[in-house]
Amino acid sequence: MLIAEPIDVPEWVNGLAIGVASLQGAIYASGFRDRKLDLFGVAVIGIATGLGGGFLRDILLNRLPIALTENWYILTALVAALLGMFLARIFRRIDWLITVLDALALGLFGALGTTAALVSGLPFVPALFVGVITAVGGGFIRDVLLNMPISVMHVGSLYAIAAAAGSIVLLGFNEANIGLEYSVPISVAVTTILRLLAVRFGWSLPEQRM
């Protein structure tokens, strides 16, 4: 097993993932017109969706959240959220593109979370746990703030499972001494493709049985 070194994901990739997630969150929130969210409320939902997973990751890893170390993280999430709110009607017409970008963001967040956990010295299972939380945490916080059932826990299209699969691939490759420069892109691809196939073919986990 390699000692993991922090990897450099290009900032624009990270920014794109945050932006897509925030956009998603704002479009989702804007669907509840009866809730009378104001501009601030939509901005909160957007920021929470885009940055919430990273906040949870860094709080769990007991370190200063990366999104607080530079101005552009919060600004990106904020601008994307406002864009999502004002142009929700347009974005809904290209929802296939949003779905694709969101699957990519899911994969990227998962890989970044898993990597950060490895760098912090966490063993396999906790690193997987942190990876999945990073990937789906933004949606969790979004739903708690909207006082809605948490969608990722309900019968759906393998959202969390896709994140877990990518994280397991990354962790397995790491045990096999394969460097992050190979395992991260493969992990992102596994999550993204599995998620998109699940959406396309309607795969889902069985409902809980009694």
Contacting residues toward its own copies, per CB under 8 A: 29-30, 33, 35-42, 44-45, 47, 55, 58-65, 67-71, 73-75, 85-86, 88-89, 117, 120, 122-126, 129-130, 140, 144-145, 147-150, 152-156, 160-161, 204-210
Report, in Å, the least distance between residue 10 CB and its own copies: 21
Q: What is the DSSP string of 100-132?
A: HHHHHHHHHHHHHHHHHHHHTT--HHHHHHHHH
Q: Which is nearer to its own copies, 172 or 185 (CB)?
A: 172
Closest contact distance (angstroms) between CB of 43 and its own copies is 9
Query: What secondary structure letter does DSSP report for 85?
Result: H
User: Minimum distance from CB of 181 to its own copies (Å)?
Assistant: 25
Smallest distance, its own copies to C-beta of residue 130, A: 7
Q: Which is nearer to its own copies, 71 or 181 (CB)?
A: 71
Residue located via tokens 């969101």 = 102
Name which of 55 and 173 has its Cβ closer to its own copies: 55
Our CB check for its own copies shows the closer of 59 and 176 to be 59
User: How far does the chain reach from its first CA to its final CA, in angstroms?
Assistant: 41
The pair of structure tokens assigned to 204 is: 């889902």
CB-nearer residue toward its own copies: 17 or 44: 44
Taking a C-beta distance cutoff of 8 angstroms, is the pair 103, 117 a contact? no
Q: Which is nearer to its own copies, 73 or 173 (CB)?
A: 73
Contacts of 4 (CB under 8 A, 6+ apart): 115, 118, 119, 174, 180
Q: Measured between alpha carbons, how far is residue 27 from residues 20, 30, 71 in Å?
A: 10, 5, 24
**Min dist. Cβ of residue 185 to its own copies (A):** 25
Please state the closest distance from residue 209 (CB atom) to its own copies, in A: 7
How many beta carbons lie within 10 A of that of residue 151, not counting itself?
A: 15
Q: Rounded CA gap, 116 and 131, in Å?
A: 8
